[in-house]
């Protein structure tokens, strides 16, 4: 019981890009906006967890942690015909780009996605390869907590 806990605590020293991911998440958390007045306690915590910025962050983490599963699902749909492939690809790319540009979060999404992918590579380098669902949950929790810390730092200052 103690040895696995110690290995988990030493993981940021073995895979330092996890610390980069935490730093990026803290920085991104400083720019999170809330749509409602900030509340105290559990209500305030749920306010930033369910904010649009936090949900964008979770979507980026899930897409970067489970690319094989997502690509299999999309490939199965696209295998029906080349026309469906072209239309679906253009639709996804255009709508996603317009949405991200409209919200002015494209740069944050690209930076966070890069940090998540680099952390995955670093974990693979030290031979720590959890299942995609566990990795997605772990990175999502890490990014949300770090983003909340960044939000807390801004609210105190």
Is position 77 within any domain? no
For the chain, give the percent of residues with pLDDT over 90.
Answer: 26
Is position 144 within any domain? yes
Model pTM score: 0.79
For the chain, the straight-line distance linking the first and the last C-alpha, in angstroms and rounded, comes to 40
What pLDDT is attached to residue 100?
79
Per-residue b or e along 104-139, where b marks 16 or more CB atoms closer than 10 Å to that residue's CB: ebeebbeebeebbebbbebbeeeebeeebeebbeeb
What's the domain count of the chain? 1
37-72 per-position pLDDT tens digit: 555 555 555 565 667 788 888 889 998 888 777 777
- For residue 27, give the nearest of 61, 57, 64, 66 by alpha carbon: 57
Is position 40 within any domain? yes
Q: Where are the alpha helices (DSSP H) in 104-131?
A: 106-125
Place of tokens 């031979």: 127
Is position 146 within any domain? yes
Q: Is the pLDDT of residue 16 over 80?
A: yes
* Structural domain span for residue 28: 18-66+103-156
Is position 9 within any domain? no
Q: What is the CA radius of gyration of the chain?
A: 18
Task: Compute the distance between CA of residue 32 and CA of residue 50 in angstroms, rounded to an integer.
Answer: 11
* C-beta separation of 137 from 67 below 8 A: no
104-140 per-position pLDDT tens digit: 788 888 899 999 999 999 999 998 888 889 999 999 9
- For residue 21, give the nearest of 64, 67, 55, 50 by alpha carbon: 64
């Amino acid at each position: 019981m103690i040895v696995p806990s110690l290995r988990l605590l030493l993981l940021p020293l073995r895979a330092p890009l996890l610390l980069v991911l935490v730093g990026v998440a803290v920085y991104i958390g400083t720019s999170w906006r809330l749509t409602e007045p900030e509340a105290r306690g559990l209500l305030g915590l749920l306010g930033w967890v369910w904010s649009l910025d936090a949900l964008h962050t979770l979507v980026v983490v899930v897409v970067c942690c489970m690319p094989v599963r997502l690509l299999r699902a999309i490939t199965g749909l696209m295998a029906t015909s080349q026309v469906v492939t072209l239309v679906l690809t253009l639709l996804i790319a255009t709508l996603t780009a317009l949405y991200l540009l409209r919200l002015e979060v494209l740069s944050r999404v690209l930076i966070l996605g890069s940090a998540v992918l680099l952390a995955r590579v670093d974990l693979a380098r030290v031979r720590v390869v959890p299942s995609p669902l566990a990795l997605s949950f772990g990175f999502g929790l890490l990014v949300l907590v770090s983003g909340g810390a960044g939000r807390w730092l801004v609210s105190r200052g």
